[in-house]
Amino acid sequence: MKRLRLSIFLGATVLSTFVHADTQPPSVPNNVEASALSDNSIRVHWNAPWDNVAVTGYNIYRDGGYYTTVRATNFIDKGLQTGSTHQYQVVAFDSSYNFSSKSLTAQATANLSQSISGAVTPNTNGTATVPSGLNAATVNGNELRIEWQPSANAIGYNIYRDGAYYTTVNSGTSFVDRVNWGQNYTYTVASFTADNRFSLQSAGVIGNTAGVTDDNVFNDSSAGTDNVDSSNTTSAGAPEGYQLVFNDDFRGYALDTSKWNSRYRWGPNWIINGEKQYYVDIINEPNFGHSPFEFDGEHLTINAIPTPDWLKDKANWQPYLSGALTTHNKFTMRYGYVEMRAKLPRGRGLWPAFWLLHNNDYDRRPEIDVVEMLGSQSNLVYHTYHHYENGQLKSTPSYEAWGPDYSADFHTYAVRWEPGLIVWYVDGVERNRYENGNVSWEDMYLLVNLALGGWWANDPDGSTPFPARFTIDYIRAWQKP
């Protein structure tokens, strides 16, 4: 969950709360063009993107890797080898280090009169052959893999989507495209040779991810006990050789207090992110007057309701009652794989989340959001990593994972956390990945909650169904032995 942490020192006590941060990334730079200059240089320029505050700079990627950072909407790449061809993409960022996605690719050849703004016009007299055997295969709810047979003499391929140049593939005969779930996309491919001879475009193929279902990507295991036993509890996504170290299948009719707290560690009265719920600490306040936790012998449901008038004083005058669980001071982990199988609630103002949080209030103070969803858009979930550097909050973009209606059925949400690597999964399929040396090495604990309102989710309204129900089948964690 996106947050800034403030520390308030009262004697020897440290209390924590959170304030609003700019988390809106800039739009993707468009109209990226590359043109060859006469001195073995290439000029790259683009249109300024939109941002809710202001764009402060651009990261330039050359031939697939980070190359430099500039503040203007153009730069000149100097000292290139005559005849060398280079591809460029641009990422915009703002003062809060929110980063856009990469732009489309622009390409140019140094010291040649012909440059490539996107793709060049095919040379039909060349020796490159037209690619054949195109196939579009679903990777997951918002990714398609386009594959084709290799073409004679080709050193690369230009990809066209819906009739327009899209990107260039310099090695291999496939690429994965991020798309909107359920939308048709038409692809063609043209090959090119080392001397810049281009084939005609291939026959087209249509791709659509709407065929993804739970039967395609989810291998459920109904086995499981309250005992930690990796031979009885499996997951489609847990890495080979990992052992189960935490498991709650919620097969009973009450919270297991050896595993869970029913409050955040900073107390029930702290309001974060402008949220409108009061988390009922049913373990420490069994006579509160309402429990947000329901059990049916197979699942736990966190339910949220408008606060009854007679409980508003006890609920810190928050307009809604809900529940949160954490393993703080009961279970922590450093690296591993965690997974939840759940049905997320749909409705404006609902904000279900499953996440990991730092165990100590110093150093990088990391947070890994395994899954978050805004109930107003129930076919989209988010994945994010937050940490601090030199006292400043740093966050990845909120990576998106489009799919079916996540409120209509159970799905699994997982993360694999390793040194320098975080990988997010939905239904056992990798959806997003972050590789960086700033990935935390600190111990973290598990949290699951149903928030309402706040600056990101907006407030519930008359369309929000109550009670709102966040139903969880299991929560598990694995680690290397």
Strand segments, DSSP code E, in 110-234 are 132-140, 143-149, 156-161, 164-169, 174-178, 185-192, 205-207
Instruction: Kindly tell me the burial class for residue 39, based on how many C-beta atoms sit within 10 Å of its own C-beta (0-12, 13-18, 19 or more).
Output: exposed
* Of 372, 400, 430, 442, catalytic: 372
Check residue 67 and report its DSSP letter: E
The total number of residues shown for the chain amounts to: 481
Distance in angstroms between the alpha carbons of the first and the last residue of the chain: 30
Is the Cα dihedral 98, 101, 105, 106 positive or negative? negative
Contact 217, 184 (CB under 8 A): no
* Of 240, 298, 367, 400, catalytic: 367
Cα–Cα distance between 415 and 423 in angstroms, integer?
Answer: 6
Residue 281: both structure tokens together: 């600490």
**Catalytic (active site) residue 367:** yes
Cα–Cα distance between 354 and 302 in angstroms, integer?
Answer: 12
Looking at the DSSP bridge assignments, the partners of residue 175 are: 146
Cα–Cα distance between 7 and 104 in angstroms, integer?
Answer: 42
Cα–Cα distance between 308 and 315 in angstroms, integer?
Answer: 10
The values of phi and psi at residue 211, to 5°, are -75, -5
Cα–Cα distance between 138 and 124 in angstroms, integer?
Answer: 32
Strand segments, DSSP code E, in 297-410 are 300-306, 320-322, 324-326, 336-343, 350-358, 367-373, 380-389, 392-395, 399-402
Residue 386: both structure tokens together: 């937050």
Contact 372, 384 (CB under 8 A): yes
Cα–Cα distance between 345 and 466 in angstroms, integer?
Answer: 10
Catalytic residues: 367, 372
